[in-house]
Amino acid sequence: MADAPVSPSLATAEAEDAPLYAPRKQIYPQAVKGRLRTIKWVVLAVTLGIYYLLPFIRWDRGPNAPDQAILVDLANGRFYFFFIEIWPQEVYYFTGLLVLAALALFLMNAVAGRVWCGYLCPQTVWTDLFYAVERWIEGDRRERMRHDKEKLTFKVAAQKSLKHFIWLMIAWWTGGAWVLYFADAPTLVYELATFQAPMLAYIWIGILTFTTYTLAGFMREQVCTYMCPWPRIQAALTDEYALNVTYRYDRGEPRGSMKKNETLKLQGLPAGDCIDCNQCVNVCPTGVDIRKGLQLDCIQCGLCIDACNVVMEKIDRPLNLIAYDTDMNVKARMEGRPEVRKIVRPRTIFYAGIIAIVGAVMIGSLAMRQTIYLSVMHDRNPLFVRLSDGSIRNGFTIRVANKNLDERSYVLTVDGLSGAKLDIVGGEIDQQGRAVVKVGPDQTLEARVLVSSHGANVPASTDIHFTLTDIANGDATRMSDYFKAP
C-alpha cells in the first residue's frame, strides 16, 4: 500500500525534532532535463562568469586612479565599483547594501520560499558545477552507484582521480579569483604565477581552495541541512501564500504502479497520477522525498518538477503533479473551493517598499555627496595656551579628504569667535590672506591648526565653525567644535 501523504506542518515539525547532526548518507542525484534545470544552468553560467571574469574588466577613472572595474583597495582604504568610489568614512553604504540584501532575501522568501537556496546560493551553484563534472567523468546515477559498490578497478580509480583533480582546479581558481578583487588582477596573476605575490594572497587562495573543495565536493547537502541558518530563519518569515515546490497530493493520491492505477480506474475506484517511480527522489540533490511535504532539507531547486513532468509526459498525464504551489491551494482543490494566489500582498508590498526607499536614499546620497571631507579634533592637553601678548590660542588637528582625481587647494576659515585668527602649520597664505591647504588626488591630509583670539573678554567655552572651501568649484563643507579660554 502506498504511503499516505505527510502534511507540510507535520513534516516541518519532524524536521525540527531531528538531531542536530547525523552521519552523511551518500546521495547520487540523477541528471534531469527540463525548464527549471535549464534556468539553473543559465544562473550557474551567469553567476560564475561574473565571479571569475569581473576582476579583469577595466574602467577608466583617470590618470590617478586604478582602472579595475571592481577593486577593494585595502592599502588605501578605497572600494571601487565602476564609477562609484567608497571611502572609509562612507562605510554606511555597505550597511545599506547589507540591508538591501536582507530585504531582497525576505522578499524572495515571501514570493517563492527558498528560491535563493535553490538557484542563487553559492553552495548550490558550486555543488551543481561539481555534480556536472562528476557525471561527465563517472557517469550518471546508476554508473556511480555501481562503481562505489564494486571492487575498485584501474579505470574507476583513474576516473575518480581525474574528477578530484578537476574539482581541485575549480576550487583553486575560486580562491584565486577572490584575491583578484583586492589587487590589480592582471598584475597579481603574473605575480602569483612567478611566485612574487604576497604570502597573504597564497594563504587566502589555500583557505578558499580547501573550503570550496570540501563544501561542494563532500559536505554538499550537509551544509544546507546543518550548517546554514537560513532554512530555520525563513520558516519564521514565510506565510501560507508563499509558493513552494509542492507535491499536489489532491491528484497524486492514492499512488501506485501504473498498471495498478489503471486497473483501479477501470473499476471506478480512486487512483492518483503518481505511479511511485521515485524519479522525484532520484534527482533531488539532498535526497528529499517531496511527497512527504515541506522539509528542512529541501532547497526548493525544482528539479523534482522537471523529473515528474518527464514521467507525466510518458504516461500521458497532465503536467505539474509537482509544481510551485501552496498547501492551502491543494486543500482548496480537494474541497472544491477556488485557488487563491496572492503574490502582491501586504508582506511583499512592505518588503518591496522598504527596498525602494533604502535604494532611493542610497542613490540620492551618492548623487549629492561632496567630494571633500573635513574632520576637526580639539587638543585635549592643554585645552588652551595664553600667549605673551595676552591672546588665547587653541590647537586643533584637522583631516581633509580630497575625493577628486586631481590635486585641489582648499581655503579653511573659522567663524563664531570675535577677532579669531587661523593659522595652518605647514599651510600657505594666499594673496588675499586666507589659509590654504593643498591635498593630492584621492588623498587625505592631516594638519595642525592654531586658532587665536585677541579679544579682551573671551567666554570660557565658545562654539566655533570651521569651513573648508574648494577654490576650484566653490564646494564647501562645515564642521563645528569649541574654543576654550580661562
Backbone angles phi, psi at 218, to 5 degrees: -125, -45
CA angle 9, 14, 19 (to 5 degrees): 145
* Per-residue confidence (pLDDT) for residue 14, from 0 to 100: 54
How does pLDDT run across 328-354, given as a tens digit for each residue?
999 999 888 998 888 899 999 999 999
- Inform me whether the pLDDT recorded for 379 exceeds 50: yes
* Per-residue confidence (pLDDT) for residue 7, from 0 to 100: 52
Q: What are the CA-CA distances from residue 323 to residues 80, 94, 179, 279 (Å)?
A: 42, 37, 41, 15
* Per-residue confidence (pLDDT) for residue 1, from 0 to 100: 41
CA angle 81, 87, 92 (to 5 degrees): 90
- Inform me whether the pLDDT recorded for 6 exceeds 60: no
- Inform me whether the pLDDT recorded for 479 exceeds 60: yes
Which grid coordinates belong to 441? Answer: 588626488
**CB of 373 within 8 A of CB of 87?**
yes
* Per-residue confidence (pLDDT) for residue 140, from 0 to 100: 93
**Nearest CA-CA partner of 181 in 41, 113, 80, 97:** 80
Distance separating alpha carbons of residues 59 and 82, to the nearest angstrom:
6
**CA-CA-CA-CA torsion sign (169, 172, 176, 177):** positive
Distance separating alpha carbons of residues 241 and 239, to the nearest angstrom:
6
- Inform me whether the pLDDT recorded for 411 exceeds 50: yes
Helix orientation angle between 122-138 and 35-53, rounded to the nearest 10 degrees: 110
How does pLDDT run across 250-293, given as a tens digit for each residue?
898 888 888 887 887 777 778 888 999 999 999 999 999 999 98
Lowest mean pLDDT among 85-89, 169-173, 175-179, 222-226: 85-89
Lowest mean pLDDT among 167-171, 204-208, 228-232: 228-232
Which grid coordinates belong to 436? Answer: 590654504
**CA-CA-CA-CA torsion sign (404, 425, 428, 470):** positive
Distance separating alpha carbons of residues 391 and 237, to the nearest angstrom:
65
**Nearest CA-CA partner of 280 in 307, 313, 250:** 307
Distance separating alpha carbons of residues 377 and 373, to the nearest angstrom:
14
Which grid coordinates belong to 56? Answer: 579583469
**CB of 82 within 8 A of CB of 70?**
yes
Distance separating alpha carbons of residues 482 and 416, to the nearest angstrom:
9
Helices and strands per DSSP (H, E), number in the chain: 17, 15
**Any idea what DSSP says for residue 257?**
-
Backbone angles phi, psi at 386, to 5 degrees: -95, 125
Helix or strand holding residue 465 (H, E): strand 461-470
- Inform me whether the pLDDT recorded for 2 exceeds 50: no
Distance separating alpha carbons of residues 78 and 85, to the nearest angstrom:
7
- Rounded mean pLDDT of 121-126? 95
Residue 19's pLDDT band (cuts 50, 70, 90): low
How does pLDDT run across 154-197, given as a tens digit for each residue?
999 999 999 999 999 999 999 999 999 999 999 999 999 999 99
**CB of 12 within 8 A of CB of 18?**
no
Distance of CA 341 to the CA centre of its chain: 29
- Inform me whether the pLDDT recorded for 30 exceeds 90: yes
Place of cell 551618492: 366
- Inform me whether the pLDDT recorded for 22 exceeds 70: no
Q: Which residues of 51-66 are buried (b: 16+ CB within 10 A; e: fewer)?
A: beeebeeeeebeeebb
